[in-house]
Amino acid sequence: MRNEMNNKSKKALIAAGVVFLILLIDQLSKIWVKTNMHIGQSIPVFGDWFLIHFIENPGTMFGVLFGSQLLQSFFRIAFACIIAVFIVKLIKQNHKTGFIVCLSILLAGAIGNIIDNIFYGVIFEESTRSHVASFVPWGQGYASLFHGKVVDMFFFPIIRTTYPDWFPWIGGNEFVFFRYIFNIADSAITIGSFSLLIFYRRTLSYWFQSKKKREETENQNT
């Protein structure tokens, strides 16, 4: 019994540590960019194929926005709460550490962008193409609660070229791979999601079953 409790405590500490570490790196990187760069500014890291390029977006990962920003914020919060409750349940059941870690990475990513949405509008000046923002007293920022913008900065334009003129509709236009600009939180969401699909597909399918179906599966395995 004591060993089981120790295992559960270790898994809880690991999950909390993963979430804390990712959030710390995510927020420190965003705050540095927000207070040292103006919108559209780029800093080369490795030549022209890895840049720190500052943009902001009000939406979800990679700037894709569905519905109002307030609705998106509440959706993110609900999503994060569901995952957090699920992680607690898995820890109580002494589930596989790897599965818990993958979910914790996913949770950290969700929380990272939630923080931007909820708080950045009330604690920062607005960033523009000619002005670097700074902290302001609470409530004197560029937007109200839940209407802050997500800070993105990692840009990997590994290939820059143009479509051939004979391409229909897009001939002569610029082609960039990889054109998306993202942050640590976006990366955590992607890594957590793909890790779950690659390494824990069976576990996921088990949890998506109905309670009756899970009980039947458990009975078959015992």
DSSP conformation letters of 19-72: HHHHHHHHHHHHHHHHHH--TT-EEEEETTTEEEEEEEESSSGGG---S-HHHH
Longest dimension (CA), the chain: 71
Catalytic status, residue 186: yes
Q: What share of the chain is helix, strand, coil (3-state, %, to 5)?
A: 55, 15, 30
Give CA–CA dist 124/35, Å, rounded.
9
Catalytic status, residue 26: no
Q: How many domains does the chain have?
A: 1
Name the active-site residue from 26, 48, 116, 152: 152
Range of the domain at 162: 2-221
In tens digits, the chain (222 residues) has pLDDT values of 667 778 899 999 999 999 999 999 999 999 999 999 999 999 999 888 899 999 998 865 444 555 567 777 888 899 999 999 999 999 999 999 999 999 999 999 999 999 999 999 999 999 999 999 999 999 999 999 999 999 999 999 877 778 777 777 777 777 777 789 999 999 999 999 999 999 998 888 877 775 555 555 555 555
Name the active-site residue from 26, 48, 165, 186: 186
